[in-house]
Every structure is written in C-alpha cells, then in structure tokens.
Amino acid sequence: MINCEQLTGVVTDYMEGRLGLRLRFEMVMHMAMCPPCRAYVQQMRLTARLAAAAPVEPADAAVAAKVEQALRPGGGDG
Ligand SMILES: [Zn+2]
C-alpha cells in the first residue's frame, strides 16, 4: 500500500490517467482510509479544472445575478 508521501508524488499522473491499474487501486484504497489525502486529491482536481477553464468574462456576473433572481422563490409574478 502506498503512503501519503507517495500519493502526493503520483497525484498528477493519477488525474491524467497515466497510472497503472494497480497503483490506481492503491490510491483509491489509500484515499478511502485517509481523509486528508482524499481532500488533497479533490483540491488538486479543482485546481486543475480552474486552471484549464477559460477566463471568466465580466458578463458572467450579470448572468449569475439574473439566474439567482429567477431561482429565488416567490419573486416576481406574485
Ligand atoms: Zn494519506
């Protein structure tokens, strides 16, 4: 079984699907037993996703506000 240090060393390969089946399995097993490593991998995934995303356009804030307003219960056509 891999330890925390080994997990952090291969997390990038894990996210990119470059790990072998055995090491993948060991990572999953380790994360199942080790909440800190689970949180770490989740954080790494989130960071990678944000880094890959296109820059947020200013218009998004206005759209988000509209959506929030539309979703608010009891607003508008009362
Ligand atoms: Zn760990």
pLDDT for res 1: 87
* Alpha-carbon gap, residue 53 to 36, rounded angstroms: 26
Mean pLDDT over the full length of the chain: 87
Contact 27, 10 (CB under 8 A): yes
Alpha carbon of 25 to ligand 1 centroid (Å): 14
Contact 70, 64 (CB under 8 A): no
Q: Which residues surround ligand 1, an ion (CB under 5 A)?
A: 4, 34, 37
pLDDT for res 66: 84
pLDDT for res 27: 95
The pTM of this model reads 0.63
Q: Which domain holds residue 45?
A: 4-71
Which positions of the chain have pLDDT values less than 50? none
How many domains is the chain built from?
Answer: 1
pLDDT for res 75: 56
Alpha carbon of 19 to ligand 1 centroid (Å): 17
